[in-house]
């Protein structure tokens, strides 16, 4: 009598990835890039270039942040990332607007004093 090995049963498991919120991640990354560049807009000469450079990522961070918060309602993850990117985008836009207004008023005041 010969001994046979028992047949091994192969079990396939399907790996289920947890849902992600790519819009929230994009908002966070763009918000970080915008604030890092945007804080340089306070410096007089360098600030003009920094304000122009950080404007686009800040606007995109705000847009993706709003979309990411809406996506959170369906996916259930990534609300914190989307909100952080949203806040960083708005803060960067506020820095740019306040700095631009300051320099426009300062240049206007210096032009009035010249005459």
> What DSSP letter does each residue of 65-107 carry, written as one string?
HHHHHHHHHHH---HHHHHHHHHHHHHHHHHHHHHHHHHHHHH
For residue range 36-70, list pLDDT tens digits in order: 999 999 888 888 899 999 999 999 999 999 999 99
User: pLDDT band for position 4 (50/70/90)?
Assistant: confident
Higher pLDDT, 115 or 4: 4
**Torsion sign (Cα): 102, 104, 109, 113:** positive
Taking the domains of the chain in order of start, what are their residue ranges? 22-114
44 alpha-carbon distance from chain centroid: 26
3-state secondary structure of 33: helix
For residue range 72-114, list pLDDT tens digits in order: 999 999 999 999 999 999 999 999 999 999 988 988 888 876 5
Residue 107: its pLDDT value, please? 85
């Amino acid at each position: 009598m010969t001994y046979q090995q028992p047949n091994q049963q192969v079990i396939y498991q399907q790996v289920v990835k947890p849902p992600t919120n790519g819009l929230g991640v994009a908002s966070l990354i763009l918000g970080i890039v915008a604030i890092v560049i945007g804080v340089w807009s306070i410096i007089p000469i360098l600030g003009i270039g920094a304000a122009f450079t950080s404007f686009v990522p800040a606007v995109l961070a705000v847009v993706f942040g709003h979309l990411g918060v809406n996506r959170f309602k369906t996916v259930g993850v990534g609300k914190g990332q989307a909100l952080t990117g949203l806040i960083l985008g708005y803060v960067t836009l506020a820095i740019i607007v306040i700095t631009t207004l300051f320099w426009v008023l300062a240049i206007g005041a210096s032009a009035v004093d010249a005459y």
